[in-house]
Chain A
Amino acid sequence: MAFQMLLNIFLAFTYMFMKTNFTLGSFVVGYFWGFVFLFIFRKLFNTRFYFHPVYATFKLMLLFLKALVQSTFGVVMLIVKPKLDIKPGIFALPIELRKDWEILLLSSLISLTPGTLTVQVSEDNSVLYIHAINIDDVKEEIDGIKNSFEKAILEVSR
């Protein structure tokens, strides 16, 4: 993936040297044509087309923003409610992510979205212990994180 991106940048510079026109414009044009040809001949490479993880990263960022807004409103509603009828608890989340940065990213995303907080990662990196402010249904909570964040991170790193 990094190879394709470097090749695309290299092609953009090659185009600039062919044109002897060292401006941002000719870099953009060279990058565009390199991108088009890399896309057409993407099957020549063993890895997938490099733009796919970039696109997946943008999707993950949008997903995080959406979850942030949604759950912040949820917590605000809990605070302004006159009666404190919450049910806090800690549950275990089995994860499929194995790389260190993936676990860091997932636990950060869980902590940054209000309502949940990563407490501990198990020794063998296979289970996250998460504190939730209000658990009605543990299974639902696990499925929610698994289907949104974990899936999106897997999409980036696969």
Chain B
Amino acid sequence: MKTNNVILETATRILLFIILVFAIDIFFAGHYYPGGGFIGGLIFAGALVLLLITYDIKTVAKFLPFNYLVVIAVGLLFAVGTGIGGLLFGKAFLTHWFTYVDFPILGKLSLHTAVLFDIGVVLVVIGTAMAIIQTIGESD
């Protein structure tokens, strides 16, 4: 019997985006407030899980057609790459820099290379969570 998921689907269309924006907020809050790459990536994966519950694995694969193992690899490359960036300028491995830049509308922002490292963390977390869920979900 096929059930009608109209309530869940309609709610997902709104909640999904609120969760994703919350994930972005948590991710960028990481330097000064609680949050960061790990929890941001988990919330992002949580949003995708909501999508998986509402629709199915094929739908999610249509929106984000990534091989999640490759996502993990790219995330690790980000993390190692920022580390090697320190070596290239004659400093120790994983040395970070930051600078303050004035943007027209956004105001004064501090740009920190640790964000690149955090992007790597996010990708690894999303990739791991989704790879686990998809592997379990696809095996009947």
Residue of A11, A24, A29 touching B17 (CB-CB under 8 A): A11
Asked if B136 is an interface residue, CB under 8 A from chain A, the answer is no
Residue of A15, A19, A30, A45 touching B13 (CB-CB under 8 A): A45
A43→B21 CA distance, assembly (Å): 18
Residues of A within 8 A of B (CB): 7, 11, 14-15, 18-19, 23-25, 28-30, 33-34, 37-38, 40-41, 43-45
Determine chain B's interface SS by DSSP, over half rule.
helix
Q: Can you name the residue of chain A whose Cβ is closest to the Cβ of B26? A: A18
Contact call B62/A43, Cβ cutoff below 8 A = yes
Asked if B1 is an interface residue, CB under 8 A from chain A, the answer is no
Q: Can you name the residue of chain A whose Cβ is closest to the Cβ of B64? A: A40
B11-40 interface (Cβ within 8 A of A): 12-14, 16-18, 20-22, 24-25, 29
Most buried by B among A18, A23, A45: A18
Residues of B within 8 A of A (CB): 12-14, 16-18, 20-22, 24-25, 29, 51, 62-64, 103, 105-107
Q: Can you name the residue of chain B whose Cβ is closest to the Cβ of A30? A: B21
Contact call B25/A40, Cβ cutoff below 8 A = no
Q: Which residues of A contact B20 (CB under 8 A)?
A: 33, 37
Q: Which residues of B contact A14 (CB under 8 A)?
A: 18, 21-22
A14→B15 CA distance, assembly (Å): 12
Most buried by A among B14, B21, B105, B106: B21
Q: Can you name the residue of chain B whose Cβ is closest to the Cβ of A29? A: B106
A7→B25 CA distance, assembly (Å): 17
Contact call A34/B105, Cβ cutoff below 8 A = no
Q: Which residues of A contact B51 (CB under 8 A)?
A: 41
Q: Which residues of A contact B103 (CB under 8 A)?
A: 25
Q: Can you name the residue of chain A whose Cβ is closest to the Cβ of B18? A: A14
Q: Which residues of B contact A24 (CB under 8 A)?
A: 105
Q: Which residues of A contact B106 (CB under 8 A)?
A: 25, 28-29
Q: Which residues of B contact A34 (CB under 8 A)?
A: 17, 21
Q: Which residues of B contact A28 (CB under 8 A)?
A: 105-106
